[in-house]
Structure 1
Amino acid sequence: MKNNGLYITDVENGSIAEEIGIQPGDRLVAINKEPIRDVLDYRFLCANEEVLAKIVTASGEEWEIEIEKDYEDDLGLDFGEHSFGPIRRCHNRCLFCFVDQMAPSMRESLYIKDDDYRLSFWQGNFVSLTNVKDEELKRIIDQKLGPLYISVHTTNSELRCRMLNNRHAGKILEQLKMLAEAGIEMQTQVVLCPGINDGEELKRTIRDLALLWPQVHSLAVVPVGVTKYREGLYSLRTFTETEAQGVIDLIEDYQNKFMSLWDYPFVYASDEFYVMAGKPIPPTENYGDFPQTENGIGLARLFLDEWAEVEEELPNEIDDHRRITLVTGTSGETFLRLVTDRLNLIKGLTVELRVVQNNFFGNTVTVTGLLTAGDIIGALKGKEIGDLLVLPTVMLRNGEEVFLDDLRVSDVSEQLGVSVTVAEGPRDLVEIVLGLDEK
């Protein structure tokens, strides 16, 4: 297949590319005779002091341009949405796949299953490696594409093939060993399903991956998510409180062993397991360097640590009385109740915590980040909210004020007839509640 290179959408002002006449609309086809497949090739091949760039202009002319530059200098090209070309889709049919459990008639992007090792390196997406060929493993090694974020689920080859419904899934340990021997850093995860890959199978997975430490830097264990949209899918359930306690005990036992060996815990139970089990969140030192916060590992501890700092700075009273409503999902109640109880000791301030059930996905889904605007509106319509409604940013699409059901923060405000704002972390929340963000 002919390589068409990367379409250039923008050229940085004052850059090398601008000086030599490259323009938006041109294509970067090759560097140093090597074809450019995506932005990773561009970054890797640009890391030379002598660069031979092949350009096809918008008018169809072919240029070969010799460039001498400092090692760290970039050419100044941007490829926008074309940076990776077609995204590699998932070929698995995992029995626990959350996308398969999405509600109907949502935005199209929510049904897309990517499984692209390039996005794992670039954005931290978890991938299964089931669609990665040997030449692509070689590319990962040659271009040092780490850290990678890898969904392992189990190191039992036969079981992994069944869980992912993919006959190529059983090679995972072989692939991880190859990457580890090449020095590629990996963060791994297990989506734990009761009666399938827990118990002895989880022990086996932990032991196998620990043999690849420190290249396998961490292992996150997260509970399977089960929504009400599972008609025709594999029969799954969530963990009971007792089972969640057992998972935590198993993981903490391994943590203690690894701490004595490496002074690093390596394996972590997600915050959700601690909520399920009704157990306190472990201390800061149990989270190492917090390698997987975006996977729900240690976020509660970071929240509590920041709250402890902020709490020391709270005033005894405020000048003008303020009545605030704060929203959380079921799993966040324990931590937010601690905050609101303390804030209500401030004279002149009333903060009410509203725990909203997830009716959109079903009440087995408890994490705050999966609440929708519809859930919030349905729970609070006709209720006394006060001067301001505060929502956590985890409910919103990254960088936007849009919920999973495509409603916006402004829609919540309009439907409930109240001012609405969002808070990120305890310090931001306290500034909003006390009105400091308005001064």
Structure 2
Amino acid sequence: MKKEGHLITSVEPGSIAEELGIEPGSRLLAINDKVIEDVFDYRYLSQDEDIVLTILDENDEEWDYDIEKEFGEELGLVFEGGLMSDYHHCSNKCVFCFIDQMPPGMRKTLYFKDDDARLSFLQGNYITLTNMSDKDVERICFYKLSPINISIQTLNKDLRVKMLQNKRAGEALRHIKTFVDAGIEINGQIVLCKGYNDGEELDYTLKNLEQYMPGLKSLSIVPVGVTKFREGLAPLETFTGEECGAVIRQIEPYRQYYLAKYGTRLIYASDEFYLNSGTPIPPASEYEGFPQMENGVGMTRSLIDEFEEAFNTFTSDPSSADRLMHAKFTFITGRAIENILRSLVSRISEKYPFCETEVIGIRNDFFGEKITVAGLITAKDIIAQLKERETGDFLVIPTCMLRAGEDVFLDDLKVSDIETALQKNIRIVKSNGVSLINVLCTDYVPVHEREVPYEQADSGDSRQA
């Protein structure tokens, strides 16, 4: 029989919990006599200066601990499961869902689709609101869980029902107004699907966003990702380069309207629209602090500007040349960002010819050629496409291709598997300008930190370039 309470898996050294002698294996039952439902109850109730913890130890004895502490001071308890409850599973069958377009036989965690407001607050996941009860909404408002990221898609209720294939999808939009009226800030997302929520439907949605102002802080528009695994799914087409340019032009009047009236452009097209259409990337000022970076909005501009600053700093120091290795480095990326990346790292070779650079954009045979972002490149595709090529001394791979905190690709192969297959040394690089230079140096420090975990369930595809 499942025990009540929340299992404590570890206790932080030097923490209040350790001082009290609370041990792993015990269970938290309540704080101030209130039963803890999940992490938000715990965080909210544990903030106060004077609290009473009710703990069930491993001998099934119940203990009350009276605690006096600083407001907001952590107790040092670590629990089984980050949410302290089950994840809310997605109840939709979205026409644009990337997870439904994945091949069989992959790691089970890659197929899990969450739709959990708690993860929206904690990790930035986007939620559709379709599985939220009135109690869920009330808790968010009570705890002031802000911001909340919402997968809006369209404000046409009937169309939203059709796109999410959930009869509650249209009515669920009412929760957005409840949130903004309660002072909860909202970030929105539209996965743009040709023939569904584009064209006149997009106009309708962008016009009617005003009802949520000023609580709506940003809205990203990203093109749907279409893999080769769509058998049995509704037909979807990707946007051509010309159509991507048309979307950019379509949203600009709305951006200017919101800027004039509310002081924010509000609406941001993802980098793919600019890269695919050949439209110049906007200056950093137009991204207004990059609120939608995790959705692939402004990542290219950020990379360009960071590299420019890092390059100028590096080249202004006469001793910098001594840090660079006399070697050839081949940068591996997706085809979306290939030309931009080449234009950046080639400047290093032009300045320091002894440090040679090359950029190779990998064709995505695993998911299909229409998927061009680096975050969805697999090790098998890298090996297959590089085994007959001369790539120099080092391969440089971005962290976005790897599982969070590990050296594992989407296809479960490791960095070492590529090194063995290609007989090459590999260096891992973060997606920022400074790292593009540091990876070429003798004092390079290995990294394995992925910016956006690919096992974070989402309706769109990975937005890492």
TM-score by length of 1: 0.95
Say if 2:437 is the partner of 1:430. yes
Q: One-letter code of the match for 2:435?
A: D
Counterpart for residue 247 of structure 1: 247
Q: Give the stretch that moved more between structures: 91-100 or 259-268.
A: 259-268
Moved more, 317-326 or 97-106: 317-326
Partner residue in 2 for 1:84: 84
Q: Quote the offset at 1:145 in angstroms.
A: 1.1
CA distance in structure 2 between the aligned counterparts of 1:434 and 1:20, rounded to whole angstroms = 48
Which sits farther off after the overlay, 20-29 or 205-214?
Answer: 205-214
Q: Distance in 2 between matches of 1:417 and 1:273?
A: 37
Q: Does 1:373 align with 2:379?
A: yes
Give, in angstroms, the shift of residue 170 of structure 1. 0.8
Distance in 1 separating the partners of 2:82 and 2:43 = 14
Tell me the equivalent position of 1:357.
363
- Residues in 1 aligned to 2:20 and 2:183: alpha-carbon distance in whole angstroms: 38
8 Å CA contact 2:83–2:118 kept in 1: the answer is no
Once residues 381 and 314 of structure 2 are traced to their aligned partners in structure 1, the CA distance between those partners, rounded to angstroms, is: 32
The one-letter code matched in structure 1 to 2:440 is V
Cα offset, 1:159, TM superposition: 0.6
One-letter identity of the residue aligned with 1:160? R
Contact 2:304 2:344 in 1 (8 A): no
- Give the match for residue 268 of structure 1: 268
Instruction: Report the more deviating stretch, 168-177 or 93-102.
Output: 168-177
In 1, the alpha carbon distance for the partners of 2:90 and 2:77 equals 30
**Which residue does the alignment assign to 1:297?**
297
Range 232-241 or range 168-177, more displaced: 168-177
Secondary structure of 1:180's aligned partner: helix
Name the CA distance, whole Å, in 2 between partners of 1:399 and 1:298: 24
Q: Within 5 Å, which residues of 2 pair with 1:22-61?
A: 22-61=22-61
**Residue number in structure 1 paired with 2:393:** 387
- In 2, Cα distance between the equivalents of 1:198 and 1:62? 58
* Kept in 2: contact 1:318–1:347 (CA 8 A): no
1:174-253 aligned within 5 A: 174-253=174-253
Alpha-carbon distance in 2 for matches of 1:392, 1:13: 34
Matched with 1:337 is 342
Does the Cα contact within 8 Å between 1:155 and 1:172 map onto a contact in 2? no
SS at match of 1:42: helix
Which residue identity lines up with residue 329 of structure 2 in the other structure? I
Q: CA deviation at 1:318?
A: 4.8
Deviation per residue, 1:89-137 (Å, 9 max, x gap) = 0010011110000011111111111111111111111111100000110
Q: 1:343 to 1:15 in 2, by over 3 A?
A: closer
Rounded to whole Å, the distance in 1 between the matches of 2:100 and 2:72 is 44
Residues 83 and 58 (structure 1), Cα distance of their counterparts in 2 relative to 1, 3 Å cut: farther
Query: Given the superposition, is the C-alpha separation of residues 218 and 348 from structure 1 closer, same or farther in structure 2, using an over 3 Å criterion?
Result: same
Task: Give the stretch that moved more between structures: 291-300 or 55-64.
Answer: 55-64
| Distance across 1 between alignment mates of 2:178 and 2:364 | 42
One-letter code aligned to 1:426: G
> Distance between the aligned counterparts of 2:39 and 2:26, measured in 1?
15
Letter paired with 2:328? R
Displacement of 1:210 in angstroms is 3.1
Deviation of 1:436 after TM superposition, in Å, equals 4.4
Contact 1:3 1:29 in 2 (8 A): no
- In 1, the alpha carbon distance for the partners of 2:171 and 2:180 equals 14
Higher mean C-alpha displacement, 422-431 vs 265-274:
422-431
Q: Write the mapping of 1:89-238 to structure 2, written as runs, cut at 5 A.
A: 89-238=89-238
Equivalent residue for 1:322, pick from 305, 310, 327: 327
Q: CA RMSD in A?
A: 1.9
* Cα-to-partner distance string for 1:8-45 (whole Å, 9 max, x where unaligned): 11122332222333211111111122211222211111
1:347 match: secondary structure: coil
- Work out the CA distance in 2 between the residues paired with 1:206 and 1:6: 44
1:17 counterpart = 2:17? yes
Structure 1 gap segments, 5+ residues each:
none
Secondary structure, in 3 states, of the residue corresponding to 2:221?
A: strand
SS of the residue corresponding to residue 268 of structure 2 reads strand
Question: Which residue is equivalent to 2:460?
Answer: none
State the AA in 2 paired with 1:143: Y
Matched-pair contact (CA < 8 Å) for 1:401–1:408: yes
Tell me the secondary structure at the aligned position of residue 358 of structure 1.
Answer: coil
- SS of residue paired to 1:348: coil
Q: Is the 8 A contact 1:3 1:37 kept in 2?
A: no
3-state DSSP of counterpart to 1:403 = coil
SS in 2 for 1:169: coil
Amino acid at match of 1:437: Y
Deviations 1:169-205 (A, max 9, x none): 1123310000000001111101000110011211222
Matched residue SS, 2:336: helix
Distance 1:14 1:347, change over 3 A: closer
Q: Distance in 1 between matches of 2:70 and 2:246?
A: 56
In the aligned structure 2, how far is the partner of 1:434 from the partner of 1:26? 49
Q: How far has the Cα of 1:323 moved from its partner?
A: 1.4
Flag structure 2 segments of 5+ consecutive residues without an equivalent: 446-465
Q: 1:297/1:82 Cα in 2 relative to 1: closer, same or farther (>3 Å)? A: closer
Secondary structure of 1:197's aligned partner: coil
Cα distance in 1 for residues equivalent to 2:150 and 2:31:
30
